[in-house]
Amino acid sequence: MFSNSKSPSLTSSPCTKPICTLACLALIATTGYSFAGKEGELLVWIGGDKGYRGLAEIGKRFERELGRPVKVEAPEGVTDKFQQAAQSGKGPDIIFWAHDRAGEWASAGLLSPVRPKETFKAKFEAKGWDGFKHGGKIWGYPVALEAVGLIYNKDLVKSPPAQLSEIKALNARLQREHQASAILWDYQNTFFSWGIMASDGGYVFGNSKNGEYDVADIGIANRGSIDGLNAIVQLIDDGVMPKGASYSVMEARMNSSEVAMMISGPWAWANLRKSGINFGVAPVPGINGKPGRPFVGVLGAMINRSSPNKELAREFIEHYVLTDEGLKTIDRDVPLGVPARTTTYQDLAAENPLIAATMQNVTNGVLMPNVPEMGKFWSASTTALQIATNGQATPDKALKDAAENMK
């Protein structure tokens, strides 16, 4: 997932996975991974939890048609490895990762800006391009958009709540009729709780007049953020959720029908299907009559500034990966969530209502800022959520301290 938030969505998997023969040969080198520098041959890095097999299949098609080999690798700790390698003029030609690192890498001179034609840009969700904007330039191509949603057990909940205030009464009914709790999520993780805190005006950083993030304008302790955290704490005080929560406990209880709803993302769908849960996805509930506004992440393709194959990389991305055929190839390997290309999204959403529902959360949501200062936000906000939900401080005090710690 996003490098600092530790969400399970866009992080690489805990182990490196084999891709294809060429990639595996590269993986056993003493350095562990290949480096850019071979003109006419593309090296691509991607997180191990993404559709690397599908990407390798696209690479084979590229080689068949253009005669240019493509190696696809999924190194463990891919973001750290990319940063270290790119700083030395090495690393892959292309890295697929979430947009939240784009600003930091661009500022460090590790990326090459991309300049797609307006006719090409128009084929994609505008929020996807916005995620990769920094300093007046675009630093990556959007592949897919992702946001958490309210995942609910259709056998227990017929009409999912639009507001957090509805959940207490729903919990009483579910406990009476099904001996199940209404909701549980990893509420001490800001990534999952932010949709509620941002619902009525909470924000991370404001925007300056030129459209860039104003990192001096910190919104974590404004009235909307405080109201959102108060609403979360109220669910704990009312006994709807226990004190202390973890992602693994939430997932286990949801998969055993002990909990009727959870806030999570497309990565959770597979286990629910394996458990035989009849589930749907709805918008994240909000507060004060407003919808939830979860963080939106954009998986994208970025080009290494040191690559000797920038034009070849652009050709591979624009004409092979970001086509309907290319994106569907990746999606068949590992679901993309919401494809950034409009026609691909429309095709997949027509077949899978979960994708259309996820798009609703993307539409309601707010892009995760792509600036380096997000590191302070994740650290400060996580501490605030922990102490507020444990009853060690009021939401007001916890978030005001977090705002001070971000300065």
- 82 backbone dihedrals φ, ψ, rounded to 5°: -65, -45
Please tell me the distance from the alpha carbon of residue 187 to that of residue 243, in angstroms, as a whole number: 10
Do 159 and 242 fall within a single domain?
Answer: yes
Please tell me the distance from the alpha carbon of residue 214 to that of residue 217, in angstroms, as a whole number: 6
* Domain presence at residue 239: yes
Please tell me the distance from the alpha carbon of residue 215 to that of residue 374, in angstroms, as a whole number: 9
CATH, residue 219:
3.40.190.10
* Domain presence at residue 23: no
* Domain presence at residue 13: no
Tell me the mean pLDDT per 10 residues along the chain, length 407. 41 34 35 64 96 98 98 96 96 97 96 98 98 96 98 98 98 98 98 99 91 94 99 98 94 98 94 97 98 98 98 99 98 94 98 96 97 95 98 98 98
Q: How many CB atoms lie within 10 A of CB 60?
A: 14
* Domain presence at residue 49: yes
Do 179 and 246 fall within a single domain?
Answer: yes
pLDDT value, residue 281: 98
Do 217 and 263 fall within a single domain?
Answer: yes
Do 239 and 262 fall within a single domain?
Answer: yes
Threshold 0.85, pTM exceeds: yes
* Domain presence at residue 234: yes
Enclosing domain of residue 395: 149-293+372-406
CB 28 within 8 A of CB 78: no
pLDDT value, residue 363: 97
Do 161 and 106 fall within a single domain?
Answer: no
Please tell me the distance from the alpha carbon of residue 283 to that of residue 306, in angstroms, as a whole number: 42
Do 275 and 301 fall within a single domain?
Answer: no
CB 307 within 8 A of CB 37: no
* Domain presence at residue 393: yes
Do 136 and 235 fall within a single domain?
Answer: no
Please tell me the distance from the alpha carbon of residue 62 to that of residue 81, in angstroms, as a whole number: 26
Do 202 and 108 fall within a single domain?
Answer: no
* Domain presence at residue 34: no
Do 254 and 397 fall within a single domain?
Answer: yes
Do 273 and 302 fall within a single domain?
Answer: no
pLDDT value, residue 275: 98
Do 207 and 339 fall within a single domain?
Answer: no
- Give the type of residue at 383: T
DSSP per-residue codes, 45-112? EE-TTS-HHHHHHHHHHHHHHH---EEEE--TTHHHHHHHHHHTT-S-SEEEEEGGGHHHHHHTT-EE
* Domain presence at residue 30: no
Q: How many CB atoms lie within 10 A of CB 391?
A: 11
Do 222 and 169 fall within a single domain?
Answer: yes
Q: How many domains does the chain have?
A: 2
Tens digit of pLDDT for each residue in 282-320?
999 999 999 999 999 999 999 999 999 999 999 999 999
Q: How long, in residues, is the chain? A: 407
